[in-house]
Structure formats: structure tokens, C-alpha cells
A and B are shown apart, each in its own frame.
Chain A
Amino acid sequence: MQIRDYIIRRLLVLPVLIIGTSIIVFALTRIGGSPIGIYLSHEMNPAEVQEMKERFHLDKPVPVQYFYWIKGVTQGDLGWSGVASAPVVDVFPKKFAATMELAIAAGIVAVSLGIALGTFAGARRNKLADHIIRVVSVGGASMPLFWFAILLLIIFWVWLGWFPIGRSDPNLFEAIAHPTGFYTIDALLAGNFAAFRDAIWHLIMPAVALGYGATAIIARMMRSSLIEELQEDYVDAAKAKGLAERVVLKKHARRNALIPTVTVIGLTFGFLLQGTVVAEIIFRWPGLGRWMASAVLRGDQATIMTYVMFTSILFLIVNLVVDIIYANLDRRVVLGE
């Protein structure tokens, strides 16, 4: 099958898969009970509850509720978030951008520090620096995120007052437009250096807290890979040619050691996204993780549905892209069979 035909076929199947997924997700959330509770207060009487059910079509049978929901989705209405007190469609992009910004910042911390520390330690095997970095790495891998985050909070927010919590200085945040939802990028686009500095300042503590665990994993991987590479014959050959130690390390051994490390880096991004829930709660970061945790605890089904559908669709698309890339990379892969 031609790759073009394969893509068309997969794209045609995609809506069917999405609708199927939506039916399953909708049914599963409803199995947990009616979502009406999130819209109620404990002083509402039965007549008022009935009115609320009618407003959200929750007085109808579940298949009819699904129809109303899917109709709303096609019109850009993802429902009302009881946790955020706003339409889901208004809140979701902002929260998603906030979480991605934090995860990417934590990723930058983890990758830059992890590779640097791993290289430094690997090149100085069994010396003091190596021991210290190994201890720091073990600490990062074994220290619970919530504990490390609270430690940072107490030292740098409460005691020293060096770093703020939350995402922004509200006055600076309100002073610029937010076309991308990424505060750092929006600040740069607006040419507002004070807002950019504010964005970075607010990112540091949660990004370090979140990135530390991943730093440890990357550093340990980098160290062990580098040590292996440094024992290879080509390193001896390079040294015998008269290349400087630094050149051998940077141009040859580190480059090869990065190959398995990069695989680990890819995997740690998932770890970082998971960790955002804890980091967001402790540092009051207004992202998807904190919102979703509240939504799950309080039964905010409109929010949960949106999140699950979003990740499902993302997964379907990524799968499609990966299949196509595989086919391009390895012609032995037979499309559509």
C-alpha cells in the first residue's frame, strides 16, 4: 500500500476511533455516578437539585446525556467546570500551557544539569567530585518530590524570600497579552522584560523541585555510559594520536555516551508530567495537574472527560505519526497489513 493511501485510510478511521473512545470514556465516568454533586451545595433542597439537573440535562437517560455532550463539543462547549467555576473550554488551554511550561522548564533543568553532572562525575570516576555527585543523584532519585518541594518552599520562600510561589506577579501578568499561554514566550513577544524576568523567577523553584528527580536519573545514566565509553579502544586510540583529554571527552566519548542518555531523557518527560501534580499543588502553580487532582477528588466530570479525551486523541495522533515514521525509516514495515 502506498504511504499516501495508508495515511488517508488512517485519517478516515481516526474520527471513528475518537467517537468510540468518547463513548467508552463517557460511559466509564457515568458509571462512577451522576456528576450533579459538583454543581450542588449542601443547602439545596430536592426541587432545586431537580432544576440543576434539568439545566445540565442530567435528568435525561445517559445515552441522551451523551448526545447533549457531543453536541456541545461540536459547538465548542466542553461543559462547565465546577472546580474552576468557568467553562472548561475557557480554562483548559490556560492550564495546559501552564503545565507544559513548567514541565519543559523542569526538563531543561534536568537535561542541562543531568548531562553536566554525569559528564563531570564520569570523567572523574571515584574521585571526590564523583562521590558527591553520586550522593546528590541518589538523593534526587530517592527523595519524595513532595518533601523536597516543601523543603525548597520553606527555605527559599518562607525563610529567605528569594523566590515566589504561584506563576506570576499578577500585575505584570495582567499587563501583557497571552496569545500562546506560555508566560515566558508571551512576555518576550510583548517585549516586556520585567514580565519575562517575573516568569523565570516564578518558574525556578517548581522547575528545580520537579527537575531534580529527573536530573538524578539522567546524571546516573550519563555517568555510567561515559565510564563505559571511556574504556573503549577508540578512546585510547584518540589519546595515542595526541588529542587533548578535553577533546577526547567532549568530541568522542560524551557524544557516544549521549545516545542511551537521550533515550532516558525521552522517558523522563512522562515522569515530569506526572510530577507536575505534586509540584503544582505545593507551589500553587495554576496548571492542569492541580486542576485535575481537584476535579477527580470532587467529581468534576466535565473536566475529567475533557482531559481524558484530550490525552486519548493525542495518543491516537502520536500513534499515527509514529507508524508513518516507522514506515519511512524501515521499508520492511508493511503498511496496512
Chain B
Amino acid sequence: MRNLIIITQTILLGVFLAVGAQAQTVKNPGILVHAADDEATTLDPAQVEAGEGGETVILQVYDRLLEFGPSGPELVPGLASVVPTIDNGMISDDGMTYTFKIREGVVFHDGTDLTAEDVKFSWDRIVDMDLPEGQSGVIADIVSDSKVIDDYTFQVTLLEPSASFLNSTVVSMAASIVSQDAVMANGGVVEGEPNQYMAQNVAGTGPYKLKAWNRGENILLDINENYWGENAKLAARIEIGAEPDVRVLGLRAGNYDTIETDPSFVADIEGADGVTLHTGGLLLEPIHVGFNLNIPEGSLPKEDTIPTDFFHDPRVRQAFNYAFDYDAFLYGPLAGFGQFNPHYLPIGIFGHDADAPVYGAQDKAKAEALFRDAGYWDKGFSVSVITEESNLFADAALVLKDSMEALNPNFRINVLAVAEAVFDEAHAQNPIEYAMWVKNADPFADPHPYMSAYQHPDGEWGEVHGFSNGYRNPEKIAELIDGASIELDVEKRAAMYAELQRLLFDDPMWLITAQEGVTMAYRSWVKGFEMNPLWPRPSLRFVYLDK
């Protein structure tokens, strides 16, 4: 027995010494270990989807003409040596022509020199390939023509003046600059077909070079010693697909330096020894309940009792907005990390008007009045909402269900939480065979894509969702969105977005649950931590980090 006690004491002492020692010792020196949520699907800028895991890598290994700086929306030179302005003469007075001076002496990872030909090739390539999963519209929808003036001058002519060209097109991951030689030597450019080489390799100029991509395991990035800017201090390893709990444990143990997490894990991280929790800022991807105003007859799930024109009535859409328990969502699934911002331009985006009216708080009396007015209070209804399972979207759908069913026992919300692939297929139908869905929007740096893609009655989604069937004044909304996109006077443009916010408050097409807060955890030994929500998730540029 005495021996047993001695052995037990020795083991426990060893445990405490080991834990104490590891809390102080930097693990994995010389390499940043980032635990990511998603596997990349492609590393090709011409193929990558907005917000997808591949953008995380593309941000590190490719450069763009301009970049967002570390501390906000200001643009800094990338492969273009100067940010074009009207004042420096690189934007024409009519706002139609942009000239970029290309940085000299930049070398691609494959050893070839960067010239303006590569820049034109990169932009043309995306448009020529026009892949459905890619973002060719980022360039094709705004650029009329581009040309090489000389080896180090690239000029772009737009279809019409654009207030968002620099901070939505030029900085886009899709507009990353690739080596023409590398692409042409490895499959070239074929319309409608992905380039397998580019999907799995890198031909950029960025501060990191791709060393290896082990599917489902890790992506290894080496420092590009020939980088034109300041070299990265740490190599990087992106660990893929660890369960959220394992990511948290790995961070606490010091095996990971930075992890992707969401607010539901804050309680597990807060106060952990040697761990810093970064909670500043807000994500730019509004989580919302979408309303379908284009429901085909007989297509809804059999449990649904609503008529197909249910959401054509603005009172019904308003009533849903008033009925939602915003507190329950913000202080439940989001653990308090976020903002009440039921508005269409997220906080932090140009044009967001803090004085515009918002729903923001549950108002049962107003919801009841509106439902009574619309004739649904007494007879009730049953309606399904489709969403992805096991994430914040499903949580938002459940809060909606609780809110509505508590408001009136005659109301029934059926939450259909399905696999991501099933949801994506259902949402991609035209028309959609569900009355409501919960998802987030893509993040943008400029207000125009938020408005044109999601709220315009004839926009990409507005048309599919039948918004022209429900807006009180669709022409006015379209006119404002179109006008703001080409308005170069900053004050006038801001005023147009402010007016749009007011119109959309009266005529909501979404129920925006909250603006999710940024929660990022990292080891305290990581230096130079900078996070910008305008960079693709997880909003980190590894080149700035050290330890």
C-alpha cells in the first residue's frame, strides 16, 4: 500500500510539474499552428467561393493589387505600389478608368517575374473560366475592359462608375494575381472547367509558399524568403477538421496557437492560463431568416398551412421581426458576443446609419397587432423553416420557433434542420420550395453587394425570392440601390443608404437575428495579433504574427 501511495504521489507531481512547465514554454517555436474549422475546397482564386476555407489559404499565399490593412477598412498597396485616387490622377475624373502602377522586382513562387501581363491574365482568366462555384462576377459585372500599358502599368475601364470597385473587386480573393507561366504550363485556361493543378497548388507572390496539403489533416506553408515585402516571421501549419472541443483543448495545452471558434466556446476558454480571448469587432455576415415571396403552388411541406402569398404582406414580415426574441439569441447561442443589429448594412460597413430604426427588441404587442391586422392571429398558421443542422443557424431557427409559439399557441414553426448539402441544394432551387430559411450572408467590404445581391427586387436573390411581389415600392428601392452604386460623392451615397435602411425597415425581407461578435482565441505568446473582419475568415494574416 505504501508503494502505491508513493507511485500515486510521483505521478501527480509529474502531472503538475508538466502542466506548470508547459504553460510557460512556447510550443512549436518558429511555426504558427492554426486550428481551422473547414477543409479548403480549392486553392485556385478563379474557383474559390466567397467565405470558403480556400480563401483562408489564398489570403496568405497570393497577393492582390491592393489589400485591407490590419486595422480597418483602409486600403494599402499590395502588388500595386500606390492606391489609386482621383487626386493622384490614377482614377479618371469620370470615375471610369483606374490605373495601377505594378510593383517592380516582385517574383512569383515559381521564379518568374511579375509584370502587368500577369495581372491582366489573372483577371481575364477568372472571367474566361467563369466557373459556377467561383466569383467571376466580381470582375465581369463591373469591368468593361483592361489593358497593359507597359510592363508595370495596368489599366482598367469600368462598365459604369463604381464606388465599390477598389474595396470589393480589387481586394477580392478572386482577384489575386497568379503566374501566367505557371498556369499555362499546367492546364491553361478552359471555359467552364476547373484547373486541377491550380486547385491543388499555388502560383502566387504571397508571403507564404505552399509546402504540402494533406487532405483532412493539415496544410503546410513555408515562408517565402523572396517576398517583396517584410518576410513572415513564422512558418504556418493549418490543422484541419479538429472537433471544436479538441481545438479548445489543443489551445489550452499550447499545441495550437490560434483556433477558430464561435461564442459558444467562450466559457471553455475564458480565464485559461496562457490564453488570450479576442472579442473585439463584429463579423460582417448577418445571420438572418429569409422570407420567400415566390412560393410555387403545392410545393410547401405538407405541414405548412400558409397561403403562397403569405409573405407578400409587409405586415406579416414586420410581425415576424417584432415577434423574434433577440435577447434569447444574443445571450443564448451567441453568449452575449454580438450586437442587436437587425439591419441590412452591418455595423462597420460604409452606409450603416446608426440612427435608422431597427427592430432590435422583441415587441409582442406590435407583433400581435400586425398579425391581427393581417388576419392570422385567430386562425393561426403552420410554416416550416429550413436550415443547416447543429450550428448557429439552427439555434436561430429554434429561437424563432420558441418566440412565435409562445406568442400564440395557434402558430406553429417547424424547424427542418438538415445536412449542409441538403440545405444548399434546397436553397439553390428556383423557386425555393420552402417559405423560410436561416443562413448568413456573404461578407463584403462595401454596401453595394449587400444591397444588390440580397435586397434589390431584380437582384441575384431578390428575383429568385420574388421581392418585387412584396415591396411597397420596388422601383424606389431599385433606383436607390442602383444609384448608390455609381454615386461617387461620399455624403450623397451615405444618404442614399440611410434612406434604403429606412425603407427596408418598413418593408423587411429578412429577419436579422443579430450581428455575430468576433471571438478568436490565441496563445498569449503570439505577438502582433491583428484581426480584420474584412479579411476572409478567420480574419488573420499570418504574416503579421510572431511568437
Chain A interface residues (CB < 8 Å from chain B): 33-34, 36-49, 51-52, 55, 82-86, 91, 94-95, 150, 153-155, 157-161, 164-167, 170-171, 173-174, 281-282, 284, 286, 290-291, 297-300
From A46, A165, A281, B464 is in contact (CB under 8 Å) with A46
* B187 contacts partner chain A, Cβ-Cβ < 8 Å: no
Task: Check B253–A51 contact: CB distance below 8 A.
Answer: no
Task: Check B249–A157 contact: CB distance below 8 A.
Answer: yes
Main SS at interface, chain A: helix
- Among B214, B250, B439, residue most surrounded by chain A Cβ atoms (within 10 Å): B214
* B77 contacts partner chain A, Cβ-Cβ < 8 Å: no
Task: Check A39–B15 contact: CB distance below 8 A.
Answer: no
From B18, B220, B424, B460, A174 is in contact (CB under 8 Å) with B220
From A37, A158, A290, B424 is in contact (CB under 8 Å) with A37
Q: Knowing A157-B255, A166-B239 touch, does A49 contact B132 (C-beta < 8 A)?
A: yes
Task: Check B50–A85 contact: CB distance below 8 A.
Answer: no
From B27, B215, B422, B424, A84 is in contact (CB under 8 Å) with B215
Task: Check A37–B425 contact: CB distance below 8 A.
Answer: yes
Please count how many residues in chain B sit with their CB below 8 Å of the partner chain's CB atoms: 57
Q: Complex Cα distance A291/B421, Å?
A: 16
Chain B 39-56 against A: per-residue CB contact (8 Å), 1 yes, 0 no? Answer: 111100000011110000
CB distance from B374 to the nearest CB of A (A): 29
CB distance from B441 to the nearest CB of A (A): 8
Task: Check A166–B50 contact: CB distance below 8 A.
Answer: no
Chain B 194-238 against A: per-residue CB contact (8 Å), 1 yes, 0 no? Answer: 000001100000000001101111101000000000000000010
- Among A43, A52, A84, A95, residue most surrounded by chain B Cβ atoms (within 10 Å): A43
Task: Check A153–B217 contact: CB distance below 8 A.
Answer: no
Q: Complex Cα distance A153/B425, Å?
A: 37
Task: Check B132–A299 contact: CB distance below 8 A.
Answer: no
Task: Check A45–B220 contact: CB distance below 8 A.
Answer: no
Task: Check B211–A174 contact: CB distance below 8 A.
Answer: yes
Q: Complex Cα distance A55/B429, Å?
A: 17
Closest A residue to B248 using CB positions: A158
Closest B residue to A43 using CB positions: B442
Cβ < 8 Å to A, chain B residues 455-502: 460-461, 464
Q: Please indicate the chain A residues that have their CB under 8 angstroms from the CB of B220 in the complex.
A: 170-171, 174
Q: Complex Cα distance A29/B270, Å?
A: 45
Q: Knowing A45-B460, A45-B461, A284-B239 touch, does A299 contact B215 (C-beta < 8 A)?
A: no
List 6 interface pairs A-B (beta carbons < 8 Å), by A numbering: A42-B439, A44-B424, A84-B216, A85-B215, A157-B250, A166-B239
Q: Please indicate the chain A residues that have their CB under 8 angstroms from the CB of B83 in the complex.
A: none
Closest A residue to B424 using CB positions: A40
* B354 contacts partner chain A, Cβ-Cβ < 8 Å: no
- Among B39, B51, B217, residue most surrounded by chain A Cβ atoms (within 10 Å): B217
Task: Check B428–A166 contact: CB distance below 8 A.
Answer: no
Task: Check B242–A38 contact: CB distance below 8 A.
Answer: no
- Among B200, B220, B243, B425, residue most surrounded by chain A Cβ atoms (within 10 Å): B425
Closest B residue to A87 using CB positions: B196
Cβ < 8 Å to A, chain B residues 132-187: 132-133
Cβ < 8 Å to A, chain B residues 15-39: 15, 18-19, 22, 27, 39
Task: Check A51–B132 contact: CB distance below 8 A.
Answer: yes
Task: Check B215–A45 contact: CB distance below 8 A.
Answer: no
Q: Complex Cα distance A297/B421, Å?
A: 9
Task: Check B427–A85 contact: CB distance below 8 A.
Answer: no
Q: Please indicate the chain B residues that have their CB under 8 angstroms from the CB of A85 in the complex.
A: 39-42, 199, 215
CB distance from A284 to the nearest CB of B (A): 5
Q: Complex Cα distance A297/B390, Å?
A: 12
